[in-house]
Chain A
Amino acid sequence: MAGPALARRTVADAAPTASAGRGWRWRDDLVGWAFAAPFVILFLVFLAFPIVASFGLSFTSFGLRDLQNPIGATFVGLQNYADLLSDPTFWKALLNTAYFVVVGVPVTLVIGLLIANALNRGVNRFRTAFRVGYYLPVITSIVAIAVVWRFVLNPDVGLVNMLLGAAGIQGPAWLADPALAMPSIIAMAVWRNLGFAMIVFLAGLQSIPGVLYEAASIDGAGRWQAFRFVTLPMLRPTILFMTVITTIGYLQLFEEPFVMTDGGPLDATLSVTMYMYREGFTFFHQGYASAIAYVLFVIVAFVAFLQFKFLRSDA
């Protein structure tokens, strides 16, 4: 793109620049910023500024009528945050999200690790087929997966209850039962994300030197002991990293309940992000919704901070 013309011009004035000495630094800055500017401008406008603006909005009662005149929104101080503390629906959403994370993350990682380990140590053939198969849901749209799973879990015409019925069991209404709805969504999330854990763990496992396993086996270690005393300690940084990444992802639960349950039944699957969306775009309480978003942001930042701390002490 515009290569020859550009190049010719530079050859001409490159020589005086190099010997000039004084203008040199200034020229470096010009070139550096020319490379950086396109991204940095977009970044400032659509990412950095919104992050700051969101904080500001959370101290206002921004609503639909303020949309055309954002600066005129009424400042309400900490009112939104105070309201959040006494909002039972918010606590419910926070608790549901915690439930999803606390159960979903360990189950996803344990199954992902077991599959990675089986692929790495127990299997020599069909590795690619297994890898592709387990990874398939990760790259698939969550919306499509949620629509399909809603159909899979349908009490009358779904796959799961069809199979249970064939075994003589009357299957429950998975997504309509407040006690079963969240576990169903967790099962789906595990199904979707274990392939990601598997790929990262597989890379971690393959970087463990085979000599360690030889040494372990000379010392009389069986498969389980090799896993316990070689694999797990060597994989510690990867496990920590995956825990943080998965936790941050799961904290933002949204598409699954949006499509499958609309947050119900009885708010049993209402997540923090869903509550933010509902307040912000169904009721147009955008100031309040920004406060919800910021609470989630602080939680995510805290988890990311823990990663730094742990990983540093680990290295």
Chain B
Amino acid sequence: MTTMPVKAPMAAGPAATPGRPPAADGRTRPPSSRLSYILLTAGLVLMVGPFLWMVLGSLKPPGDFLRNPPTFLPSVATTDNYSRLFDQLDFPRFFFNSTVIALAVTVGTLVFCPMLGYALAKLRWHGKRLVMGLVLATLMVPAGITLIPNFILMSNLGLVNTYPGLILPFLAGPFGVFLMRQFMLGVPNELLEAARMDGANEFKVFFSVVMPIATPVLATLAILTFLGNWNSFLYPLVMSQEPAMYTLPVALATFATSQYQADHGMLMAGSVVLVVPVLIVFVLFQRWITEGIATTGLKG
């Protein structure tokens, strides 16, 4: 992080840079840093602008959307849009569906992926290579390819429009296995041997020795899995044919492309409901997320 304060002030000799004036205080801060601040701040405004527009839009009364030219701030802040979401439409139900599905997938992933990751990294068994090759080979398979067969399968199992139908397929995410195996490879064998010497069997070793030291990776995996499933769209869109099983993204997209499509206030309120839980998770755990992504280079 702080690799910049370079320890060679003498290297900042004037002869080094004939074209431009030498930096004021040695090398710690490159000369154009003010420009960096200005550009980064301008960019930040562009990044945050649409979110602000969303929140302000969700607070506007219907009359504000007929104004020409439109205004940035609501004429009066109102929570009517939110009341309509929760009273007239079934948003509490959608919120509940999204929460149940994302949590169930996260819990399952936190058990199954570390188990296989451990078996791949630390145990000797026949078929290990084959399993690893299969899992790694599917790491980049597009989601669309499994959509139709899974829909047919779920139809025949009677699982369309059910929670298992929306949860089970996501428990087979190869990313979690990849992440956990990478971590398990770094766990010292001596630690495992010591526990085995003390008479612990593999399950005991796994649950009371390996899992506790895996907490940071598990946290990253948990957050990425939760976010990925909270935001997931294509699969739930297909697998929830009845409004009672809609998740928040499916509900929002359905309303946005139906008779409500000009109801900007309500759609912005719906977006806020979909986005805010994620923002809270992100702000609380941003270190886990960005570090997890930077080290693995993959999205959840």
In the complex, chain B residues 14-46 whose Cβ is within 8 Å of any chain A Cβ: 16-20, 27-33, 35-37, 39-40, 43-44, 46
CA distance A255 to B249 in the complex (A): 10
B188: CB under 8 A from chain A? Answer: no
Contacts of B219 in A (CB 8 A): none
In the complex, chain A residues 271-304 whose Cβ is within 8 Å of any chain B Cβ: 273, 276-277, 280-281, 286, 289-290, 293-294, 296-297, 300-301, 304
List chain A positions with a Cβ less than 8 A from chain B: 1, 3, 6-7, 10-11, 14, 28-29, 31-36, 38-40, 42-43, 45-51, 53-54, 57, 62, 67-68, 70, 115, 118-119, 121-124, 127-152, 154, 156-159, 162, 165-166, 191, 195-196, 199-200, 202-203, 206, 210, 213-214, 217-218, 220, 222-223, 241-242, 245, 248-249, 251-252, 254-255, 258-259, 262, 273, 276-277, 280-281, 286, 289-290, 293-294, 296-297, 300-301, 304
Which listed residue, B37, B111, B146, touches A123 by the CB 8 Å rule?
A: B37
Contacts of A196 in B (CB 8 A): 293, 299
Contacts of A206 in B (CB 8 A): 1, 3
CB pairs A–B below 8 angstroms (5 shown): A32-B119, A36-B115, A139-B227, A200-B294, A290-B148
Contacts of A124 in B (CB 8 A): 4, 28-29, 33
The 6 closest A-B pairs by CB, nearest first: A32-B125, A122-B36, A10-B201, A203-B294, A50-B149, A35-B119
Which listed residue, A115, A118, A214, touches B11 by the CB 8 Å rule?
A: A214
B33 touches A7 (CB 8 A): no
B294 touches A199 (CB 8 A): yes
- Chain B's closest residue to A254 (CB) is B234
B76: CB under 8 A from chain A? Answer: no
A220 touches B268 (CB 8 A): no
- Kindly provide the distance from the CB of B46 to the nearest chain A CB, expressed in whole angstroms: 7
A136 touches B116 (CB 8 A): no
Give the number of residues in B that approach A within 8 Å (Cβ atoms). 123
B150: CB under 8 A from chain A? Answer: yes
B17 touches A3 (CB 8 A): no
B33 touches A166 (CB 8 A): no
- Kindly provide the distance from the CB of B16 to the nearest chain A CB, expressed in whole angstroms: 5
- Kindly provide the distance from the CB of B18 to the nearest chain A CB, expressed in whole angstroms: 7
List chain B positions with a Cβ less than 8 A from chain A: 1, 3-4, 6, 8, 11-12, 16-20, 27-33, 35-37, 39-40, 43-44, 46-51, 53-54, 57, 65, 67-72, 111-113, 115-116, 118-120, 123-128, 131, 134-135, 138, 140-153, 155-156, 168-169, 171-172, 174, 177, 199-204, 206-208, 227, 230-231, 233-234, 238, 248-249, 252-253, 256-257, 264, 267-268, 270-271, 274-275, 278-279, 282-283, 286, 289-290, 293-295, 297-299
A134 touches B252 (CB 8 A): no
A70 touches B156 (CB 8 A): yes
A133 touches B199 (CB 8 A): no
Which listed residue, B8, B39, B155, B264, touches A157 by the CB 8 Å rule?
A: B264
Known contacts A121-B30, A122-B30, A157-B65; A296/B142 CB under 8 A: yes
Q: By CB atoms of chain B within 10 A, which of A35, A138, A262 has the most?
A: A35
CA distance A152 to B47 in the complex (A): 13
CA distance A46 to B267 in the complex (A): 34
Known contacts A35-B118, A39-B112, A162-B70; A47/B36 CB under 8 A: no
Contacts of B112 in A (CB 8 A): 38-39, 42
CA distance A36 to B4 in the complex (A): 45
Contacts of B297 in A (CB 8 A): 200, 241-242, 245
- Kindly provide the distance from the CB of A305 to the nearest chain B CB, expressed in whole angstroms: 10
